[in-house]
Structure 1
Amino acid sequence: MDDAPKRLVIATRNAHKTEEIREMIGDRFEVVDVTAFPDLPEVEETGTSFLENATLKALAISREVEGLVLSDDSGLEVDALDGRPGVWSSSFGGEEGNHAKNNERMMREMAGQEVRTARFRCVMVLAEAGEVLAHFDGSVEGRVLDEPSGGGGFGYDPLFAPEGYEQSFSELGAEVKNGMSHRGRALAKVVAWLDEQN
């Protein structure tokens, strides 16, 4: 009988994200990401919701590799901006992945806004052999600050203070952030679901 752990493929090329997930999953699964499969195509995220984008990635990768595939899509939803930037969080400033430009645009659009509530949201999708098995979501409520604060983290972390805190995610540090993050909360649901299947 083969006692080797089942493989879980994370649909990302982001090593930090893979390691974060590996730590939460523990040794129940062999966690790898798409960098282990250099011939896999890039999946274009053409959806208009986190669920659509996460589903696109999970299905595309699960058709190409054996085992379970876990994908996610996440971003910042600002109430005063009608939920924007949402799925376009990483390109909000006009250039994909440019955190400084994204934060500059956020400060411009939020200047003078009294309603500053916002949330980070993450949606994760599990798929196998081209079929969706389940999807999960997690979010953390907070508010957008007037200006960036703190040098840690990435993305909108310097501009986002989670509920119950005066400091930004950048100031609070990785340990506090990861303990309440949208990705951590979604992943906890994934882990619970996987445990139920065994």
Structure 2
Amino acid sequence: MRQLLIATGNSHKTEEIRSMLGEEWEVRDLSSHPELPTVEETGSTFLENATLKAEEISEAVPGLVLSDDSGLEVDALNGAPGVYSARYAGEDGNDTANNEKLLRELSTSDQRTARFRCVMVLAEAGRTLAHFDGKVEGSILRERQGDGGFGYDPLFVPDGHKKSFAELGNEVKNGMSHRARALEQVIQWLAHAKL
């Protein structure tokens, strides 16, 4: 069984990736390596943050490390919250506070277009092997809908659908999400790589 360490402590993200990779891979995350330091996300882009995490973690552990940085880009807010998506409402922010802030920021705007973007970086021994970019276009609702998912899922309706990511369920979301689209590229790369 091939092994892949996901450079995250987010169990939702790990489960999403594990379910998409299938049984061929043993997928672990940073919870299996509590001795590793937290990598500061000091980059100004998703690619910079993902690269920082992948390279630093892969220096400390053997094998392949996959990191990602992802978030919501809202056109009316000039791409915000972007790299600050997880802490949009402040360092102590949570999903509810982030969603509430987003709704406040958009309360007077009719422009609701947005996208979820995910940049993944695959590294080994401290160096980047490849990077991948996935996105899904959609729009922001005026109020939360649905109890599933996490983050901004209750506010985001992907193009071609009438329900939010939180209402569509994991199976549908995993098949079309920004993370799924980036991970499809990772899987194709791994299938052809000589590792």
Q: TM-score, normalised by structure 1?
A: 0.93
1:172 corresponds to 2:171: no
Counterparts of 1:15-164 in structure 2, within 5 Å, are: 15-164=11-160
Taking the aligned partners of 2:148 and 2:119, their CA distance within structure 1 comes to: 24
Aligned length: 194
Taking the aligned partners of 2:43 and 2:92, their CA distance within structure 1 comes to: 16
Point out the more displaced range, 97-106 or 12-21: 12-21
1:10 corresponds to 2:17: no
Partner residue in 2 for 1:192 = 188
CA apart distance, 1:65: 0.3
Q: In the alignment, is the contact (CA less than 8 A) between 2:46 and 2:70 conserved in 1?
A: yes
Structure 2 residue runs without a partner (length 5+): none
Alignment CA distance shift 1:160-1:34 (3 Å): same
Question: For each residue in 1:17-50, what CA deviation from the matched residue of structure 2 results, as whole angstroms up to 9, or x when unmatched?
Answer: 2222222223433322222222111111111110
CA apart distance, 1:60: 0.6
Q: In the alignment, is the contact (CA less than 8 A) between 2:20 and 2:174 conserved in 1?
A: no
CA RMSD of aligned residues (A): 1.3
Structure 1 residue runs without a partner (length 5+): none
Q: In the alignment, is the contact (CA less than 8 A) between 1:90 and 1:96 conserved in 2?
A: no
The sequence identity of aligned pairs, in percent, is 64
Q: In the alignment, is the contact (CA less than 8 A) between 1:95 and 1:101 conserved in 2?
A: no
Q: TM-score, normalised by structure 2?
A: 0.94
CA apart distance, 1:97: 4.7
Taking the aligned partners of 1:152 and 1:24, their CA distance within structure 2 comes to: 18
Taking the aligned partners of 2:105 and 2:82, their CA distance within structure 1 comes to: 14
Once superposed, which parts of structure 1, at least 4 consecutive aligned residues long, lie more than 6 Å away? none
CA apart distance, 1:87: 0.3
Point out the more displaced range, 24-33 or 115-124: 24-33
Question: For each residue in 1:67-90, what CA deviation from the matched residue of structure 2 results, as whole angstroms up to 9, or x when unmatched?
Answer: 011000100000000000000001
CA apart distance, 1:61: 0.3
